[in-house]
Amino acid sequence: MAENLHVHTEDLSRGRPDVLKRDVLNRLRSIAGHVNGIARMVEEDKYCIDVIHQVEAVQAALDRVSLLVLDDHMHHCVTNAIRSGDPAEGERMLGELREVFTTLSGR
């Protein structure tokens, strides 16, 4: 089912608002730095629980990025699909949202 939902994602790409793009990119760069720090911790044989806490912090930060992008998606892509009057497109978008929420709730 997931394969069918993602067939046309290249066609759906749109420019994100600059403020969102900047925020997401800054967060991702920060996360990347954090991940590099975790790698150093592992290389330096730091205490396992400290490593785990840092991994959990990265996962939480990634979840916040996902929510930012999801919020933008709902306000633009999903709203536009529903307003388009194309029932199949609206259903496809709702299916994508169900899939995302199912994945997020499994964490």
Does any domain span residue 4? no
pLDDT value of residue 53: 98
Residue 23: give the domain boundaries. 16-105
User: Average model confidence (pLDDT) for the chain?
Assistant: 87
CATH number of the domain enclosing 48: 1.20.58.1000
Virtual CA dihedral for 50, 53, 54, 58, nearest 10 degrees? 170
pLDDT tens digits, 72-105: 999 988 888 888 899 999 899 999 999 998 988 8
Does any domain span residue 2? no
Does any domain span residue 80? yes
Does any domain span residue 5? no
Does any domain span residue 9? no
DSSP string, 47-74: -HHHHHHHHHHHHHHHHHHHHHHHHHHI
Does any domain span residue 20? yes
Does any domain span residue 1? no
Does any domain span residue 36? yes
Q: What's the pTM?
A: 0.77
Q: What's the structural domain count of the chain?
A: 1
